[in-house]
A = this chain, B = another copy of it.
Amino acid sequence: MRQYLLGPSFLGQSRITLSGKESQYLTRVLRIKQDQSFAGIDNQGRIWDLKMDSIGRDSCTLSCSQAEQGKAKVATDTMPSYAGPFPRIFLYQCLCKGKKIEQIVRQATEIGVEEIVLVQSTYCVSDFSNKSEKTVSLRTERLESQIKEAIQQSGSPIATHLNERVLKLTEVPGHWNKKGLGLFFHQSEIPDQKSLYGLLKDLPMEEPIAILIGSEGGFSDEECTFLETSEFKPVLLKTNILRAESAAIYAISAIQVLLTEK
């Protein structure tokens, strides 16, 4: 663990008590001892210096102070790494089969995506619209725990957030609400299409970017037309036809690389 992800119940208190699984994770799995200091991140992406104050049988208490200049005093893993800036990437990901979507969510979090929104499109093999509430909430729970683990392990300074509801593709432009550049990735070229480099070259680092990735079957012609009229720009990746889980990480990497390396 490079940083401990403070849950939504943490609101900036100077002391918090954890119990059950959370306490066990810190004291038994990571074996954090009394008085040991370590780094934390809250779900707004703020960095905290944490100290283990006391360890009980099924609970523990931490003292928390916000890190100065956004840098933790003690990183659990002290290996230096890239400290930013990070482009602000919002991933709209069409549903794929179970394990694939978990892999996408986990890797997108590692790389530093700000928000992940799952989308139901025409060619989705996996359809959640008719699933029971329990199935849907179990899936959400699994994805949330993938995100949490990825933030803790990668030391990402971005507290990736999973949108609680699966959107229909037609709801995507409304949800995005033109906050910044909107892109959708597909395999065929549309006349007069700009290159990814062309779309990004004059973009400031702080401009939010939405990227919409299809399911295993890509997008239908109607969906492409709808997206273009909604000011989402088509992008052809200059590579082979990738499986959905490879396309997602390729596209996120491509945008991060083009913006951070330029």
CB within 8 Å of B: which of A161-219?
187-189, 195-197, 218
Q: Which of A107-136 contact B (CB under 8 A)?
A: 107, 110-112
Would you call A237 an interface residue if the criterion is a C-beta within 8 Å of the partner chain's C-beta atoms? yes
Most buried by B among A77, A112, A189, A253: A253
Say whether A261 faces chain B, with CB atoms less than 8 Å apart: yes
**A84 nearest CB neighbor, chain B only:** B238
CB distance from A9 to the nearest CB of B (A): 25
- Chain A residues touching B, majority SS: loop
How near does chain B come to A165, taking the closest CB pair, in angstroms? 27
| Contact (A112, B253) CB under 8 Å given A80-B188, A189-B80 | no
Q: How many copies of this chain?
A: 2
Is there an interface contact between A240 and B82, defined as CB atoms closer than 8 Å?
Answer: yes
Cβ of A153 within 8 Å of any chain B Cβ, yes or no, is yes
A19: interface (CB < 8 Å)? no
A240 to B239, CA, bound (A): 24
Beyond A254-B253, A257-B253, whether A262 also contacts B188 by CB under 8 A is no
Write the nearest CB–CB distance from A184 to chain B, whole angstroms: 15
Question: What is the distance, in angstroms, from A28's C-beta to the closest C-beta of chain B?
Answer: 22
Q: How far does the alpha carbon of A218 sit from the alpha carbon of B79 in the complex, in Å?
A: 11
* Complex interface: chain B residues within 8 A of A79 (CB): 187-188, 218, 241
Asked whether, in the complex, the Cβ of B111 is within 8 Å of the Cβ of A2, the reply is no
A112→B257 contact, CB < 8 A: no
- With CB as the reference atom, state the residue of chain B lying closest to A111: B239
A81 contact from B82, B110, B111, B240, Cβ within 8 A: B240
Interface centre among A155, A187, A257 (most CB of B within 10 A): A257
Contact sample, A vs B, 14 pairs, CB 8 Å cutoff? A79-B241, A81-B187, A82-B239, A111-B239, A111-B242, A111-B246, A112-B240, A153-B241, A155-B240, A238-B256, A246-B249, A253-B253, A253-B257, A257-B257
By a beta-carbon cutoff of 8 Å, the part of chain A in contact with chain B is 2, 77, 79-82, 86, 107, 110-112, 153-157, 187-189, 195-197, 218, 236-243, 246, 249-250, 253-254, 256-258, 260-262
